[in-house]
Structure 1
Amino acid sequence: MTDPELDTPVLDDHLHLDPDAGRGLDAVRDFRRLGGTHLLVVNKPSWHLGVEADAGEDFRAVFERTLEVVADADDLLPGRAWPVLGVHPGLISRLVDERGRSAAAARDLMRAGLDVAAEYVRDGRALALKSGRPHYDVPEEVWDASNAVLRYALELGAELDCAVQLHTEASEDLTEIATWAEDRGLSAHRVVKHYAGATLAGPTPSVMCRKEWLREAAERGDPFLMETDFVDDPDRPGAVMGPKTVPRRVRMLRSEGYDDAIRLAHVETPARVYGIDTEATLTG
């Protein structure tokens, strides 16, 4: 059942769960207790789970561990939890700067990891892919290699008919990426800018739950999602936002009369972007 105070699906579009070193399912319980119903769980960066990949197959351990915690989260929620799998764009710097790989070799390894992630989407075990490019300054060859990885993820999204979540630099205009998606046969609205502000041209914004950003998104009336980017890292307990934040912000929007925006963010946009029905998947 949904929280009686909310009486709506409540989806966090992007967070991480670490059942081994972090809060794991306790974070899911906090989310549910405040009225949360649905989660999109993105695998943590591979090296955060102790995987220093040398081949695409090395990412499989990261994806399998993510599927395990998503299955456990799914059992706890009144709605559903879905995995989003991919290769964090920051890996390219780790490969080039710390492990001595060329930008081209790093590009090829990351694309191989995306191929493995695509297997899980293809067989229905994952909902969407994750990719992107660094949000910090990098040398030109690293930037070009990162964009090649990003474009490859968009190609896979088109092939699989699935959404692609992106980690990129802060921007209000990513129409270039939207054009890359459209050119490859993936509708721009199925590209999601993770950690977005309220204003974004091109992809669908997954808006970080800052109160002012959510109010602006609600006023604009364009499709948007809500997220915390909860990192579940015991070494960074105050990083980004906690798992209770999305349901708390839904309460805030409800109290301020933004009922249409709540439905847009938690029912209509998830259906449009991911093809999921957050109402029909509620049980109990």
Structure 2
Amino acid sequence: MSEELGTPVLDDHLHLDPEHGRGMAAVDDFARLGGTHLLVVNKPSWHLGPVPSEADDFRPVFETTVAVAREASERLRGRAWPVLGVHPGLVSRLVDDGGYDPSGARELMREGIGVAAEFVADGRALGLKSGRPHYDVSDAVWTASNAVMRRAFEHGAELDCAVQLHTEASEDLTEVAEWAAEAGMDPSRVVKHYASGELAGPTPSVMSEKDWLRTAAERGEPFLMETDFVDDPEKPGMVLGPKTVPRRVRWLLEEGYEDAVRTAHVETPRAVYDIDTEATLSDPTFRG
């Protein structure tokens, strides 16, 4: 029997691997603890297939993520949405191991973002994923990675959708938010995945560590909550497990942070992704 926490409970960023990982068993764990909604982000393309060499090579990973999000929705009181894009670490796979120069890698990754944008345009995905490496790279690779990210913002502006970012650890990404604004995006619809409790610029998707969540709750600013569950059987302790967000929601409620819970699980999802986590609970047929 699943627990109910009296609120929608959204994990803003996790991965599901139906072939090699726990897949729907992880969704069931999340739901049993009171989780209601998921944003399922595609795993890096080379985890579910070969390293891409052309734009169409991204499609199978995106199709898999759409299918797994659809299946997850059938097991949730709310629903799951796919978020699709190109992991910024691909640039290193292409340049270091694939014989690409940074400009060639940039173009292939931009094409991959374009394919993901097609899924958003036809309603099969909710938003896009991009970013830049969180580790040291050459100036040329850094420049190429920023160009890929800026292309994602162009698609985000055209499609009026959110863009999740994988970037270096930082509490100040105002420059990145300015790039989004230059592309025509509302910077609040840029989401920094794996954020701490403080962030200037994009909307933080806070890793569900208690200290970071307390900081975010007390700031009173928009934020989301996530686990970055990787669903890799070879790395079972990697990042946080699927039960974590509902457990942390219960803890926040016990600590008196009811307003922060509503911010993270109702108001910010509505503002950033244009999704209604309450309506999808009260009306099972509502798919917005």
TM-score (norm 1): 0.98
- Give the letter aligned to residue 185 of structure 2: L
Residues 82-110 of structure 1: per-residue CA shift (max 9 Å, x gap):
00000000000000001111100000000
Judge conservation of contact 1:177–1:202 (CA < 8 Å) in 2. yes
Flag structure 1 segments of 5+ consecutive residues without an equivalent.
none
Q: Secondary structure at the match of 1:20?
A: coil
Q: Which residue of 1 aligns with 2:195?
A: 196
Q: Which residue of 2 aligns with 1:80?
A: 79
Flag structure 2 segments of 5+ consecutive residues without an equivalent.
none
Question: Could you list the runs of 4 or more consecutive aligned residues of structure 1 that deviate by over 2 angstroms after TM superposition?
Answer: 1-4
Equivalent pairs: percent with the same residue? 71
Q: Which residue of 2 aligns with 1:172?
A: 171
Report deviation, 1:3. 3.8
Q: Secondary structure at the match of 1:226?
A: strand
Distance (Å, rounded) in 2 between the aligned partners of 1:2 and 1:149: 42
Judge conservation of contact 1:51–1:62 (CA < 8 Å) in 2. no
- Give the letter aligned to residue 125 of structure 2: A
Report deviation, 1:203. 0.1
Q: Secondary structure at the match of 1:281?
A: helix
TM-score (norm 2): 0.97
Distance (Å, rounded) in 2 between the aligned partners of 1:32 and 1:62: 25
Q: CA RMSD in A?
A: 1.1
Distance (Å, rounded) in 2 between the aligned partners of 1:242 and 1:10: 15
* 1:99-178 superposed matches below 5 A: 99-178=98-177
Q: Which residue of 1 aligns with 2:36?
A: 37
Distance (Å, rounded) in 1 between the aligned partners of 2:119 and 2:50: 19
* 1:60-79 superposed matches below 5 A: 60-79=59-78
Judge conservation of contact 1:2–1:8 (CA < 8 Å) in 2. no
Report deviation, 1:50. 1.7
- Give the letter aligned to residue 86 of structure 1: G
Distance (Å, rounded) in 2 between the aligned partners of 1:70 and 1:279: 19
- Distance change >3 Å, CA 266–CA 196, structure 1 → 2: same
Distance (Å, rounded) in 1 between the aligned partners of 2:71 and 2:55: 26
Report deviation, 1:51. 2.5
Distance (Å, rounded) in 1 between the aligned partners of 2:174 and 2:215: 20
Judge conservation of contact 2:2–2:33 (CA < 8 Å) in 1. no
Distance (Å, rounded) in 2 between the aligned partners of 1:173 and 1:67: 32
Equivalenced residue count is 283
- Give the letter aligned to residue 20 of structure 1: E
Residues 57-105 of structure 1: per-residue CA shift (max 9 Å, x gap):
1100000011111110010000010000000000000000011111000
- Give the letter aligned to residue 89 of structure 1: P
Report deviation, 1:229. 0.1
